[in-house]
Amino acid sequence: MSTSLNVSYQAISNWERGKSYPDISNIIMISDLYNISLDELIREDKNYKDMLLEKKVSGIVDTILNVIF
């Protein structure tokens, strides 16, 4: 799989151990490679889903604070 995605084995190992996550372009390529939906791929990993939601909320809070101040 690493050669199909142009990522290192170390990166994949980190994904598997939850130390890091693939970026969105890699997620799309994984989805295509294994012929599964993005929804199924992301929803199966609760930690990744939570991290995405946390980033989204953090971005919204930053935007609100910038508007207020």
Q: Rounded CA gap, 34 and 44, in Å?
A: 14
CATH class of residue range 2-68: mainly alpha
Mean pLDDT of the chain: 77
Instruction: Dump the DSSP string for 40-56.
Output: HHHHT-HHHHHHHHHHH
Contact present, 7 and 26 (Cβ < 8 Å): yes
Report pLDDT digits (tens) over 20-36. 888 888 888 888 988 88
Residue-level pLDDT at 66: 65
Domain residue ranges in the chain: 2-68
Q: Rounded CA gap, 38 and 42, in Å?
A: 6
In this predicted structure, the answer to whether residue 1 has a pLDDT above a threshold of 60 is: no
Q: Rounded CA gap, 57 and 39, in Å?
A: 20
pLDDT band at 45 (very low <50, low <70, confident <90, very high): low
What's the predicted TM-score (pTM) here? 0.54
